[in-house]
Every structure is written in C-alpha cells, then in structure tokens.
Copies of this chain bind each other. A is one copy, B any other.
C-alpha cells in the first residue's frame, strides 16, 4: 500500500502536463496535419531556437570536469553567472551563495514550500494563479493553498487589500499562513505589477508576518510599456527583504524548458540551509550547468538575445491580440509572459464551473485547441481561459480561428 503522500500525489495529476502531452502527440501543421491539435496550452517560448542553437553548439562537448560531482546546490560557476544576470534585473546585488540551483522551478517552489510549511499550513495565492502551484507548492510539502480572489472588473489586477483581507480571515479561522506566493509578471494574466502595488503587498505580508515567494520566472519576458519591477528590489521589499524568496529559471526567459534548471534566491540563512539540504534530492546535471554557464558567459550575447526575445514576444502578443479582437474574443491586456487571459464566458452553456468544463471539452475535443480553463488557475469566475501565443504565428492564428468559430456556433 502506498504512503499517504503518494496517494495524495497520485490522485492529483497535474492537468497542464496531461493536456500538453495529448496535444503534442498529434500536433497541428498547416500543410501536413491541418486537422491536428493546436497546442496553445503550454507556456513555451518557441520563438528563439534559431538564436540559441549556435550558441549552445559553441559550448562544445562535455569535459571531464563537467561530469564529476559538483556541489549539489549548483556549481559556483553557474551561480555566479546567474547572480550577474539577475542582479541588474532585480535591482539588487546578488550573492551567488544565496542562490540554490535545483532541477526546475517546480523543484525550487517545492523546496521553498517544504522549507517554510509543515503539512496543513497555508500559502495565500492571488487568484487566478499559476495552475501548477497546486502541485509545486502543495503536492509534496503538504501545505495548502488559499486563493485570494482578484476582481474581474479590473482584469484580475493584483489588489493588496484583498490579499490583506484573506490573510486576516485565514488567521481569524486559526489557519497558520506561512507565505504569500506571487507570480510577476503574472501567470496567467500577463500583468507587470506596478511598484507601488508590490510595495503595498509586501507591507501587508510584513504586517501579517508571512514570507513571500516571488516567482519571477518571466522577469526578462516583458514587452509592455511599463517597466518590470522586481519584488526583490530594495525599493519594494524594504524591511521585508530577508523574507522575500525569489524564484527564477531557464525555461521561460531562455526558452529551455527541457533542461529543468530552477533557481531560488534567499537571504534568510535558515531558509538557505534548508534549501541546500533539500537540493540534495533534486540536483541538476553538471553537464547542463556547464552548458548554461557557457551560454551566459558572453554578456553582450545575453543582452542581444533577451532584447530580441522580448521583441519577438511583443510582436507575437500584438499579432495574437489583434486576431482575438477580430474574432470577437475579449482579453486582458498583457505586458509580459507568454500567455493571454481570454474571456470566453459569453459562450458558456451555464455560468458555472460545470459550464466552463463543458466548454473546455468542446474546445479541446471538437475544435482541437488546447487552452487551459480558468478552473485550473483557481479563477473566481467561470469562462476565462489561458492562451499561450509564444509559438509560430500560423499556429496561433489557426487556434484563434477555431476558437472564434466555437464562439460563433449555436450550441
């Protein structure tokens, strides 16, 4: 018989992973497989491989030192390179010793949740929230998530007052809340949170004595007019800086999701010691660490790559947004990330979670478009879906056309 932890995990198969592999097994192609699945469900940056391939080839084959034991929380070389990359973006000097490298951002989130929470303790998440938080933050750690529902009328903008209210109510109910977890830019909505809003959220976290898990894995994938502001920026975190733990990785900003390299930053010596101990169970191949160290070792290449990636993401977003408008599909304006938060509530058979699931089934099975429903993001109102646009424009267009047709159909 399985352990309780195992039974809980087996019961909660991550929806994102399952839909992704089903859609990828029979992918749409304009000429070769026009009836295939259009996968707009996976937050994958497929716009930059042409830039990466020559640079990765340049790194050359693995050397002996790339294949030997390294410190299990990341090689000093990779941590130094990541510190140099993230410091300017986070607007604060990063000590490489405050970084812990683990096998994916999922593992980094799991490490933080496990370090901070005993089973049954809680993490508050503004909703809609990154769907995999259910597994990443709560799956192994045994923590539980408490959504703080944002308001549809503001396009689900981050609202510090709601966060404060949920924290207060949870404490009133006797729940031990240990952390607040926020994605910035937000996933799924695509907002870059303004500095004053983040400042106020961190003030609320401090007031309620909770740590902050700042998931900034899209930190370099910002293309809107407003500048990105990090939760680790001292002007934002202020007195609470040692309680703000940053998450980053190579999956999104560098379009290398298979490499499973996540990074965690903390200035709390206890959390750092715990994270290093937990990293023992999820280390990264030294080969891959060496490859990424060499990827980052030319600052000019990195600057140009990130600039071009942002430019392509901005174009991809603008093109998808225009198609959605043409198709009569409302969406929230995005400043960053790979996704668009679209409103299909006008087509719900019923304004209920069941109605949303019914619509999702029609879209996935009949229209063969993979867009994830609001339910998996804990969205407070049914009918919203996440559409990922960072893939080739023809595929995105085919998906939007199919969605527009669903929206126009009489049921």
* Residues of A participating in the B interface, judged by any CB pair closer than 8 Å: 1-7, 9-10, 12-14, 17, 20-21, 42, 44, 49, 52-53, 56-57, 59-62, 64, 66-72, 103-104, 106-107, 110, 114-118, 121, 135, 139-141, 255-261, 270-271, 273-274, 277-278, 280-288, 291
Contact = CB atoms under 8 A, between A and B. Distances in A.
Given A3-B116, A42-B69, A10 B273 contact: yes
A285 B270 contact: no
Given A2-B115, A69-B44, A284 B260 contact: yes
Contacts of A14: 280
Contact of A103 (B9, B70, B103): B103
B258 A70 contact: yes
Contacts of A284: 103, 260, 285
A171 B3 CA distance: 18
Nearest to A270: B2
A258 B66 contact: yes
A261 to B, nearest CB: 7
A274 B10 contact: yes
A77 B258 CA distance: 14
**Which of A3, A4, A14 has the most chain B CB atoms inside 10 A of its CB?**
A3
Nearest to A289: B258
Nearest 5 CB-CB pairs, A to B? A258-B286, A6-B274, A57-B61, A9-B277, A285-B288
- The oligomer's copy count stands at 2
A72 B278 contact: no
Contacts of A115: 2-3, 6
A118 B3 contact: yes
Nearest to A3: B118
A173 B27 CA distance: 57
A7 to B, nearest CB: 8
A176 to B, nearest CB: 11
Given A3-B118, A257-B69, A291 B282 contact: no
B59 A61 contact: yes
Contact of A271 (B2, B260, B280): B2
B107 A3 contact: no
A281 B5 CA distance: 13
A284 to B, nearest CB: 7
B6 A114 contact: yes
Nearest to A72: B17
B283 A140 contact: no
Given A3-B116, A42-B69, A61-B61, 16 more contacts: A2-B270, A3-B274, A10-B274, A10-B277, A21-B71, A56-B67, A67-B256, A68-B257, A68-B258, A69-B257, A103-B103, A106-B281, A135-B280, A260-B285, A285-B285, A287-B287
Nearest to A288: B285
22 contacts: A1-B270, A2-B116, A6-B116, A9-B277, A13-B277, A56-B67, A67-B255, A67-B256, A69-B258, A103-B103, A103-B283, A106-B280, A135-B280, A258-B285, A259-B285, A259-B286, A259-B287, A260-B284, A261-B285, A281-B281, A287-B287, A287-B291
A62 B67 CA distance: 16
